[in-house]
Amino acid sequence: MQQKIINPQDLAFQLYELHDVERLLSFERYSEHSRETFQAALDLALNVAAEEFAPHARLVDEEEPRFENGRVEMRPEVKQALGVLRETGLMAAGQDYERGGMQLPAAVAQLCVGMLKGANVGTQAYAGLTIAAANLIMVQGSEEQQTRFAEPMMAGRFFGTMCLTEPHAGSSLGDLRTRAEPQPDGTYRLSGNKIFISAGDHELSENIIHMVLARLPDAPPGVRGISLFLVPKILVNDDGSLGERNDVSLAGLIHKMGYRGTTSTMLNFGENGGAVGYLVGEANNGLAAMFHMMNEARIGVGLGSVMLGYTGYLHALDYARERRQGRAVGEKDPVAPQVPLIRHGDVRRMLLAQKAYVEGGLALCLQGAMLVDEKKFADTEAQRSLAAGLLDLLTPVIKSWPSRYCLEANSLSIQVHGGYGYTREYPVEQFYRDNRLNPIHEGTDGIQGVDLLGRKVSTAGGRFYKALMERIEITINEGRQDPRLTESADRLEQAVTAIMSATDVINAEKSKGNKEKALANATLYLNAFGHVVVGWLWLRQGLKAIAGLGGKGEQSPAFYEGKIKACDYFARYELPGVITTAELLKTIDTTTLDILEEQF
């Protein structure tokens, strides 16, 4: 394997066998596509990732961007790589043909960016954030905003950011204070300070388009008084040419543990009177507008975690096959040749855990991406609404599960490397550092847990939650038909039963008005729920692998056997923990609430 970003067999299996992305070809939107065009985009992205992004991943970690003379200096390889990416047109992979896009399905478009994430997450972020900001304008912005701002972004000429966090308002977005004063000409003047703005300043593009959350003077307090504004770094004239510098200034860079290639900035808006901004969508509806595209952004975060875990796994696998250390259990001859690490049971366990996490995580993210397309383009309103509900339900899981378990995969890939894995001479320690961001940004694990348990499982009277559990039940019944999957199906059934039972108890507690108690262990619920969903996706992979072994697939028999064994692994080693957690959840335990502040 030359590149260590993704296993091409797994990619093909997941797209064309597990998720059957080709069924999207029946949608009008994708009628000009084919598996070949999907694959061409993916091959292009993988090539750019391996050739242009991966080679300088360590370099931008070691020589991170610097704040010098009021501007950001960074390694020239970043601009070079992003320039090549721009030329490919992949920054508009998911956009309409008429906007210069490739009009690819979300699963394919997300994976194209995913390749870049696995190769070099720091450089990728400039493109990834631009794609997300452009999407936001395409969904929420006016026609003029789309033409003047989003189109140059999709073409890679302008880059974009998301400006949410302020020094005193992180998870508590409702407390943000940046103000937007309306002007007679219909524009606004923004003033305030933002922090942790990724890609907030650089010299990589002609312009930077900031998507900024702020308050109008008469806005109600809290989250209902937040509006979304588009604030360019450089004003754009009516003819699209660049005008004056806007009143947005870089106050400093933040230095991170990982993800170092991406500038994390403090930005001041309106230090000299007010930054010109344009309202996007309706006034006081900014958070909803932002969240309208958050599902896709959160799939992006989850996929980023997966791809960092995935590349770490492939590096560990390669190392375990090459590196010889020790001897088989029971070998008495001390001069027998040392065996490859992969012969050791404990190393194999660590590799299997990584495989289960990263391939399971990939299946999860692609499931989300398929729902994005179904939600938008499925034939009937009923199908679209069901897909939208399932996507909403799964979003906190897609955001958080990979960011926890694929980070654990990165830790295991270090462990497989032994002392070498701890050195910066090998890449796995960087993946671990890079990935540690993902449980924090775009909504911490704690926020996702409350979102899932406090809202999503109960949306529409629990309709989508029940629909998901029914789908899982169908898979379990299918799994029971094959002797090689019966055990996994049974174990998944037990886990599903446990989590459903816990959900019922917690819902009853919520309906008694004891919300704090009911949600006290929402993060543990989130992890267990995620395990059930990934267990389901592993059982589905097991079913497709059995079909593949029976001649209904394109991959090698060894590959399919590996899938079945990873399915076994997940069912035997991971799913039983769900039952343990569910038992705790069912007690509505308040240990964590009972301890008083001064007792720590």
Shortest spacing between CB 391 and a copy of itself, in angstroms: 24
Residue closer to a copy of itself, measured from CB, 245 or 572: 572
Site string for a copy of itself, 342-381 (x = CB under 8 A): xxxxxxxx-xx--x--------------------------
State which residue, 76 or 419, has the beta carbon closest to a copy of itself: 419
Active-site residue among 151, 429, 442, 493? 442
Q: Report if residue 191 touches a copy of itself, rule: CB under 8 A.
A: no
* 306 contacts 114 by C-beta, under 8 angstroms: yes
Q: Do 434 and 118 form a contact (C-beta atoms < 8 A)?
A: no
> Could you write out the DSSP letters of every residue in 159-219?
EEEEE--BTTBSS-GGG---EEEE-TTS-EEEEEEEEEEET-S-SSSSEEEEEEEEB-TTP
In 3D, which of 375, 395, 394 has the Cα closest to residue 385? 375
Size of the site for a copy of itself (CB under 8 A): 104
Q: Which C-beta is closer to a copy of itself: that of 24 or that of 450?
A: 450
The minimum distance between CB 377 and a copy of itself, in angstroms, equals 36
Within 13 Å of residue 141, how many CA atoms lie on the same side as its CB? 22
Residue 384 vs residues 138, 370, 465, 497: alpha-carbon distances, Å: 20, 12, 16, 28
Cβ closer to a copy of itself: 167 or 243? 167
Q: Where in 383-402 is the site for a copy of itself (CB under 8 A)?
A: none
Question: Two tokens at 413?
Answer: 């890939």
Asked if 321 interacts with a copy of itself (CB under 8 A), we say yes
> Distance between CA atoms of 550 and 545, rounded to whole angstroms?
8
> Which of residues 117 and 344 has its CB atom nearest to a copy of itself in the complex?
344
Cβ atoms of 46 and 7 within 8 Å: the answer is no
Of the two residues 485 and 519, which places its CB atom closer to a copy of itself in the complex?
Answer: 519
Q: Which residues contact 73 (CB under 8 A, 6 or more apart)?
A: 65, 66, 67
Q: Does 52 bind a copy of itself (CB under 8 A)?
A: no
Q: Under the criterion CB under 8 A, does residue 450 sit at the interface with a copy of itself?
A: yes
Non-local CB neighbours of 75 within 8 Å, separated by 6+ positions: 56, 59, 60, 63
- In this structure, are residues 38 and 45 in contact, taking their beta carbons and an 8 Å threshold? no
Q: Which of residues 124-183 bind a copy of itself (CB under 8 A)?
A: 165, 168-172, 174-175
Smallest gap from residue 110 Cβ to a copy of itself (A): 24
442 catalytic? Reply is yes
Does residue 309 touch a copy of itself according to CB under 8 A? no
What phi, psi does 63 have (nearest 5°)?
-115, 80
Token pair 């930005």: residue: 267
In the list 186, 239, 335, 551, the residue contacting a copy of itself (rule: CB under 8 A) is: 335
Residues 248-287 that bind a copy of itself (CB under 8 A): 254-258, 264
If one asks whether residue 222 binds a copy of itself (CB under 8 A), the answer comes out as yes
Distance CA 83, CA 205 (A): 9
Residues 519-578 that bind a copy of itself (CB under 8 A): 519-524, 558-559, 561-562, 565-566, 568-569, 572-573, 576-577
Told to check if 240 binds a copy of itself by CB under 8 A, we report no
Q: Which of 257, 508 has the CB closer to a copy of itself?
A: 257
Site membership for a copy of itself, residue 322 (CB under 8 A)? no
Catalogue the active-site residues. 442
